[in-house]
């Protein structure tokens, strides 16, 4: 119940195992649109999804996405773990968090910033589309240099 007395139905975020049972088609039917293929691609790249129907190849699109994922990203997830790795991102510096998130299928700078802010406690991150992307990149690189010197 909310402070104003209204009731709201709440749902927990699905687990990797639950997500791994969804196909791209089902996600599209649920309203995810073009994002469906990226969700499937990210889920199948996580070690926790191994052994699921998706990871075992029931969805051909998922297999194509998995095959297209960078081998470095796959190796990193295998070595560091999926959920555990994502949880560790909370304690990393923002530039490193963004760099790690950009490795996932379909994650661009704006989505990486949103995930960093809303899911990984990176409160100094301000998502948005910069009209000056080169200058934004230079600013981030300068921030990295300053952090390395500290």
Which residues are marked as active site? 110
Alpha-carbon span 85 to 77, nearest angstrom: 7
Question: Contact at 8 Å (CB) between 124 and 146?
Answer: no
DSSP 41-68: HHHHHSGGGTTSTTTTTSSHHHHHHHHH
3-state secondary structure 79-115: HHCCHHHHHHHHHCCHHHHHHHHCCCCCCCHHHHHHH
Q: Are 49 and 74 in contact (CB under 8 A)?
A: no
Here the tokens at position 53 are 């129907």
Contact 103, 84 (CB under 8 A): no
């Amino acid at each position: 119940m909310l402070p104003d007395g209204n009731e709201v139905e709440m749902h927990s975020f699905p687990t990797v195992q639950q997500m791994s049972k969804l196909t791209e088609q089902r996600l599209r039917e649920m309203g995810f649109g073009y994002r469906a293929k990226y969700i499937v691609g990210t889920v199948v790249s996580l070690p926790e999804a191994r052994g699921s129907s998706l990871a075992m190849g029931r969805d051909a699109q998922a297999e194509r996405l998995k095959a297209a994922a960078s081998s470095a990203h796959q190796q990193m997830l295998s070595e560091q773990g999926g959920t555990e790795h994502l949880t560790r991102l909370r304690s990393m510096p923002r530039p490193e968090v963004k760099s790690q998130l950009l490795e996932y299928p379909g994650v661009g700078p704006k989505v990486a910033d949103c995930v960093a802010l809303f899911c990984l406690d990176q409160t100094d991150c301000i998502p948005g589309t910069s009209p000056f992307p080169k200058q934004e990149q230079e600013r981030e690189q300068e921030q990295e240099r300053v952090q390395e010197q500290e």
